[in-house]
Structure 1
């Protein structure tokens, strides 16, 4: 397996942890997907949100997640990997809202982690 293929598979696991962690309010999976110092940035219903990981997880946990069996709706639109850096464009549905996420990822040691999330809320 090439490095690109191995990195793509590892990043896909991080993205799955992110989307499923968000969908099911699973704090452990969200913490596994994100670097602890990450930022979550976007305009949420017209208000600038510049959140820490703890803020983001708190907001997710405050929502009522769907039943564990309901699969999340998401799609990886693009993935660009250069060495130990990557950018993924993901669309996902969360609590009746549609988002486009631009996720910056970095390989830290042997693990990939989301270090920045810039999102657009489709209204």
Structure 2
């Protein structure tokens, strides 16, 4: 598997984990010390991985068999770091996510998620 394919697999884990409230997938996609940051409901939201996952679990998951929106617009890889821009939807809201990934111990994980919520 190429580095780009491995990164795409992590992005799939992330988007599917959000859409279907799959906590193990989200824990695998995100580093345990990841930060999730963006403006939400008029205030800066700054969450830990576990706070983010808890917020996902509090929402109703997508129906089984549905295909969640995932448009990977950009992947840039420099050695053991990568940046990804992906458009996705969660709970009826559309986001542009800017994800920073790090390859450690042979696998890619999301270490930071900066998001924009589209109006």
Correspondence for 2:117 among 108, 116, 121: 121
Secondary structure of the corresponding residue to residue 56 of structure 1: helix
Aligned-CA RMSD value: 0.8
Aligned residues: 119
Correspondence for 2:107 among 96, 107, 111: 111
1:38-58 CA-partner distances (Å, limit 9, x unpaired): 000000121110000110010
If the length of structure 1 is used for normalisation, what is the TM-score?
Answer: 0.94
Report 1:1-123 matches (<5 A): 6-123=2-119
Post-superposition offset of 1:119: 0.2
> 2:23 and 2:2 mapped to 1: Cα distance?
26
If the length of structure 2 is used for normalisation, what is the TM-score?
Answer: 0.98
Moved over 4 A (4+): none
Q: Unaligned stretches of 5+ in structure 1?
A: none
> 1:103 and 1:113 mapped to 2: Cα distance?
10
